[in-house]
Amino acid sequence: MNTTLDDSGSTEWSTLHCSKDALTDFFGWFLQGILATLAFTCLIGKRFCEPLYNRRSWETWWYDTSKQGIGAMVIHMTNVYLAPLFQGDPCTWYIINFLLDSTIGLFIIYIGIKTCQYLARKKKWDAINFGEYGAPKSWLYQTWIYVGLMAIVKLITTLFIQLDIWDNVKNFVLSPFKDPRIELAVVMLVIPFFVNILIFWVTDNFLMRHTRKKRNTGTAHHHGREHSLLQKAMKKF
């Protein structure tokens, strides 16, 4: 799993399971395309799981999910770029980056969005109230903030990954896989698919507007009307 340098300073990648360009060759991009399609489909399915009385319009849903999509693309492309720069198998470095982004990153995103929502209420900055798009350029401001949060996540995880502990972790994570194609599929599709279902679902809940509506409003109104008619009838007698 370790890399060696020849006299010219180039890296000898033949000793690695996953080659230097494995993440960006045709097969790598093909797997990434499948992952993006599955993730997008997951968010469509989530919309249909929302209760009818509180389901977002397609326009609002698109505003919410497009922010997450842009942020995810920024993180993903950064990981693809950074993975070959680390010493060792780029596939293992990619999956470690991905898992750190999905754990530490989720916490940072939550804090950032809650802070924006607090400032929106406190300072009347409606444009940065995530999930609300009534103010001018709301989507643009919220998208820039979300991408900024992604940049903070990437900075923190990149610093965190410098710890020596990850040398042992990267050697363990994908050690059972000997075939480079299988390793790449596990790294780029299998693990990210299951993790993304959870992360995309939770993050979408952060980004969407939450309203409180009573499903039985009509029923309550009906009972109230009956009670009023009963009172009128009793007065007559």
pLDDT at 215: 47
Tokens of 229: 């008619």
Sequence-ordered list of residues with C-beta below 8 angstroms from that of 130, at least 6 positions apart, any chain: 113, 116, 117, 142, 206, 207, 208, 209
Mean pLDDT over 32-53 rounds to 87
Instruction: Give the per-residue pLDDT at 223.
Output: 46
Question: Which SS3 state, helix, strand or coil, does residue 201 take?
Answer: helix
pLDDT score of 77 more than 80: yes
Per-residue model confidence as pLDDT tens digits over 182-217: 877 887 788 888 888 888 888 888 888 766 554 444
108: which 2 tokens? 């940072």
pLDDT digits (tens, 9 = 90+) for 132-157: 888 889 999 999 999 999 999 888 88
pTM for the model:
0.73
Are 33 and 94 in contact by the 8 Å Cβ rule? The answer is: no
